[in-house]
Amino acid sequence: MMNQINRTDEWSQQVWKYCFSGNIREAYQLLASKQNLSKEWLKLREDLFERFFAERPSLPNPPISNKLEPFLNCYYLYLIQVLLQKIERKQAEEELSDNLSILLKKPGSSMEQLEAELKVVFEKESYHFLGGKTEPFYGPYIWAANEEREYEVEIPLGKQRLKVNFMHGFIMKGWLDFATCGRRGAGGWAKEEGLYCVYDVYKDILDSSKFQVSYLKHEAQHADDFKRFPHIKSYELEYRAKLVELIYEETSRILYQLVRDADPNPDFPHNYSSYLIIQDLEKQAGFRFSTQPNFTNDLIDKVRNAAAKAFLEHTASLEKRF
């Protein structure tokens, strides 16, 4: 039986859309106004209240040294401000920068400089630290250990042999994990030196399409695009990687995810790319995704063919630009 929190009905999709677009207040209001919630939704509602609306917020409490805790608290405060839209995003970023600069004794430093310094601080305590934005918010990834494996991955423009670093022992996993109290978050990412994968997300499903397609092929496409098209835009990276998922996925799983995640706001590249894909493929495939209660094998084949065509057309347009 499907966990109620993973349902694809319109109400469930709207809750997650609010979360994915960084609007926790609206997500909580939807949960608060709904009658007869399942135990999974009730637990999410309770956790969101304790984290974002209680007089004393219930924050993550990872087993780290007292020396590192204040840095995490700076990010937690920032995330509560932006996810509840208490202040403008720019002001929240300035306050985050000010708070980190005080702790690091680096007045006048940029966020890039401060997070470079934080990387050193955490590495001295035997942690890996990845800063920067997962657009549009800051929220670092901090973990204890890497385990390296090698994979050969087929994507539309050829096979890739890539190193995958399985990451273990997270103490922070970006803003979306914080926003959803651990229910959603990045499964990994691509860097020049190889792929990075959150091991706990995939450890029991390494042979499934969720790993083989939605992680390996998705991230392998990112790695290939980084090399072929320097300075490609974030939403274009996601657009192309999600098209690759559609090309290789034999079920309707990705289609439902696209419908759930789609958002026309370009500030959120992951959601915006889903929106663009739906717009483009509906024209090519000749039917509306959002009105399909079920995707037959024939419809899935139409989508896969349309995705392959859209991918090649987009590749040709990028080759003219780069």
Q: How far apart are the C-alpha atoms of 104 and 116, rounded to whole Å?
A: 11
Report in angstroms the alpha-carbon separations of 250 from 29, 133, 267.
36, 32, 30
In this predicted model, what pLDDT tens digit does every residue of 90-139 receive, in sequence order? 999 999 999 999 999 999 999 999 999 999 999 999 999 999 999 999 99
Decide if 136 is inside a domain.
Answer: no
Lowest pLDDT segment from 29-33, 187-191, 241-245, 312-316? 187-191
Average pLDDT over residues 235-247: 98
Q: How far apart are the C-alpha atoms of 291 and 276, rounded to whole Å?
A: 17
Average pLDDT over residues 58-78: 96
Q: Which of 270, 252, 253 is nearest to 261 (CA)?
A: 270
3-state secondary structure of 161: strand
Decide if 247 is inside a domain.
Answer: yes
3-state secondary structure of 203: coil
Q: What integer pLDDT is reported at residue 3 of this predicted model? A: 53
Q: Which domain holds residue 274?
A: 229-321
Encoded tokens for 203: 């450890």
Q: What integer pLDDT is reported at residue 7 of this predicted model? A: 58
Residue pair 20/271 in contact (Cβ under 8 Å)? The answer is yes
Average pLDDT over residues 309-314: 97
Q: How far apart are the C-alpha atoms of 309 and 300, rounded to whole Å?
A: 14
Helical H runs in the chain? 10-20, 24-33, 39-48, 69-83, 89-104, 111-124, 174-179, 199-202, 209-211, 218-228, 234-248, 253-261, 269-285, 297-321
Decide if 62 is inside a domain.
Answer: no
Q: What integer pLDDT is reported at residue 220 of this predicted model? A: 96
Decide if 101 is inside a domain.
Answer: no
pLDDT-based confidence at 319, cuts 50/70/90? very high
In this predicted model, what pLDDT tens digit does every residue of 12-21 receive, in sequence order? 889 999 999 9
Judged on CB neighbours under 10 Å (0-12, 13-18, 19+), 147 is exposed
Ordered DSSP codes for 212-224: IIIIIIHHHHHHH
> Does the structure show a pLDDT above 80 at 292?
no
Question: With the C-alpha atoms ordered 201, 206, 211, 216, is the resulting torsion angle positive or negative?
Answer: positive
> Does the structure show a pLDDT above 70 at 8?
no
Decide if 288 is inside a domain.
Answer: yes
Q: What integer pLDDT is reported at residue 1 of this predicted model? A: 36
- pTM attached to this predicted model: 0.88
Q: List beta partners, residue 188.
A: 197
Decide if 285 is inside a domain.
Answer: yes
What percentage of the chain has pLDDT greater than the value 70?
Answer: 97
- Residue 199 — left, alpha, or beta (φ > 0 → left; ψ -120 to 50 → alpha)? alpha
Mean pLDDT of the chain: 94
Query: How many domains does the chain fold into?
Result: 2
Beta strands 137-138 and 141-143 are unpaired
Decide if 317 is inside a domain.
Answer: yes
Count other Cβ atoms within 10 Å, centred on residue 115.
19
Which of 53, 68, 89 lies at the terminal end of a domain, its last residue?
53
Decide if 38 is inside a domain.
Answer: yes
